Structure 1
Amino acid sequence: MTTGSGPTVADGVRELLLLVPRLVARAKKLPVPAQLAELSLAPRHLSLLSCLLFDGPMTVTELAGRLEVAPTTASLMVGDLSRQGLLDRAEDPHDRRRTIVSVNEEKRCAVDAWLAHGARAWERALTPLTPAERGLVIRTLRAYERNVEECCPDR
């Protein structure tokens, strides 16, 4: 049932409860490039790699801010991906106390190929929308994330 120009809240909830698991299942089926298949990668690694590909090299603190996680969590992920050869760490030439993290150049094409599927799908979904509509989609997904966290604090 619809009201005005869209579904009722109950109909929207029903539709999204069916849709979101399918989205997650399809995302999990994205093919991992052969060069990355042997690595132990998790969804959290995708977010970190996406930040580095889209925004370029940055410090662990900057990564933590972008990922909205504690610096220690970002540091653990960087260490894990560095040991697997996916990330490089280099001394910041302007401040030797800081470490700059980047995607390893030999793995960059494979990482880019892996992330490109999802990026293209989002680009196609968001392109026809106005900036205000894109903002609404993003705010709605963030609100859902917050509410799931508040509804299930033990998880």
Structure 2
Amino acid sequence: MKLHNATGLGLAFAREALGRGARKVYAGVRDPSKLRLAGVEAIRLDVTRPEGVAAAASRCTDVALLINNAGIATVGGFLSADSIQSARAQLGTNFFGPLRLSQALAPVLGANGGGAILNVLSAASWINSPLLAMYGASKSAAWALTNGLRHELRAHGSSRWLRPA
């Protein structure tokens, strides 16, 4: 079983998982009524809401792969008038979202034989520009999260759980 967003890249992940033999795919979406794909169970999920993440984790007890794919990007530099608000919004989704889901589902993955976590990142993690400054910073933070989780999970004998993409 897999849990991830199912629009755009998330939809491609869902189709690929089904094509490779996944028996069930959970798709975290804000509006489950908009998702209609055989073999996919839509789960209401906003990664910025801790209670929603907890509800999704309690419902998806057979997950073997978590794909952290949720992400937002807005245009603007660090010195833009709205840069602080932009940073909070993008970090909320691009960093804290994967952190919350990883915390909530690592025990589920462990109970199901180890599983894996795949964090979808960006080249903007390393190369930043004024066009997408806050997005790049949030993806850099997500890169650091990915590496930190890898070390933490390795200490529990679970280094194969985490893969950046």
The TM-score, its normalising length taken from structure 1, stands at: 0.28
| Bigger Rg, structure 1 or 2 | 1
Greater helix percent: which structure?
A: 1
**TM-score relative to the length of structure 2:** 0.27
